[in-house]
Amino acid sequence: MQFDQILQYTLSGLSTGAIYALIGIGFSIIYNATGIINFAQGEFVMLGGLLTLSCLELLKLPLWAAIPCAIVVSAAVGILFERLAIRPLRQPTPINLVIITIGGSILIRGLAMLLWGKDTHAIPPFSGDEPIAIGGATILPQHLWILAITLIIIIINKVYFYHTISGKAMRACSYNRRAAGLVGIDVRRMVLFSFIISSAMGAVAGIIVAPLTMTAYDVGVMLGLKGFCAAIIGGMSSGMSTVIGGLLLGVLESLGAGLISSGYKDAIAFIILLLILFIRPQGLFGKADSERV
């Protein structure tokens, strides 16, 4: 009984963890390319879910078409955000960037509230909701979708960063922005790219999680913050460490909620965040880096 429970919590924790990982990678990509922590990252998760809903219900698109449509629109919002809020900033100090991304996130959330109202909305699961038994636990097909899509995205990400010119240029920017600029990389374009990629990834996360948890104009806040926790655990890497960070966070949270108290579920993530920041600000797997402390 006890073991089955733990298995059940672990399995559902893994799929939420995968979502955190995707959002966390989005944070990391922007951070590495620009040095900005984009507090609006969570809003793209919300946009992904709600835009899919609109594509399904208003445009009557089939699911396979609604999803890419929502991703493209979210990425477009990401471009607008970079162009209108980040690029024109005259004094890009860390505090100003924190404030402007927070302001932007409130604005996006507020507009979403105008467009979709305050109700929670459901998106149909991608392939039914017949539970699948694994050992003594059961999972939904949507859980498998989440894990599979996350895996695919991580692979695409890897290929992009290591095997394409623009991905390599982006990595160069993350090591040393000035040097990258000097060897002819268009750093501003890379910044824009980083916003496009991470808003698209945020949207994907929002779309695949929506059938499980429902979605509303304000889901982005918590999901975004949890994604940031994942990124911190992973040492702001845009690779495997953040994925592990996300999965770890998802599982710990799910176990904590199930075995200790569900009310403190959200607190668990933030306690982990604080502990990591205090003890290992470079992340669980990272090398010491003086920039964060």
Nearer to other proteins by Cβ, of 235 and 250: the residue is 235
Task: Please identify, using beta-carbon distances, which residue of 24 and 211 lies nearer to other proteins.
Answer: 24
Rg, Å, the chain Cα set: 19
Give the DSSP H or E segment for 288. none
CA trace torsion 229, 234, 237, 242 (10° rounding): -80
Q: Which residues contact 127 (CB under 8 A, 6 or more apart)?
A: 141, 142, 145
Using CB under 8 A, pick the residue from 60, 118, 163, 178 that binds other proteins. Answer: 118
CA dist 176 and 231 (Å) reads: 20
Shortest separation between residue 60's beta carbon and other proteins, angstroms: 29
For 9-45, give the DSSP string: HHHHHHHHHHHHHHHHHHHHHHHHHHS---TTHHHHH
Burial tier of 88 (Cβ tally within 10 Å: 0-12, 13-18, 19+): exposed
Which range touches other proteins (CB under 8 A), out of 7-15, 133-141, 192-200, 260-268? 260-268
Span near other proteins by CB under 8 A; candidates 30-38, 65-73, 168-176, 200-208: 30-38
Q: Hey, which residues between 204 and 243 contact other proteins (CB under 8 A)?
A: 221, 225, 228-229, 232
What is the C-alpha to C-alpha distance for residues 45 and 225, in angstroms, rounded to an integer?
Answer: 11
User: Looking up tokens 């507090």, which residue turns up?
Assistant: 39
Instruction: Please enumerate in sequence order all residues whose Cβ is within 8 A of that of 124, keeping only pairs 6 or more positions apart, or say none.
Output: 56, 63, 211
Nearer to other proteins, 109 or 177 (CB): 109
Pick 42 or 167: Cβ nearer other proteins = 42
* Minimum CB distance to other proteins smaller for 106 or for 214: 106
> Which residues inside 88-117 make contact with other proteins, applying CB under 8 A?
88-91, 94-100, 102-111, 113-114
Q: Residue 11 Cβ, how far from other proteins at the closest point, in Å?
A: 25
Count of residues that interact with other proteins, criterion CB under 8 A: 49
The residue among 200 and 225 lying less far from other proteins, judged by its C-beta, is 225
Residue ranges in contact with other proteins by CB under 8 A: 31, 36-37, 39, 85, 88-91, 94-100, 102-111, 113-114, 118, 221, 225, 228-229, 232, 261, 263-264, 266-267, 270-271, 273-274, 277-278, 281, 291-293
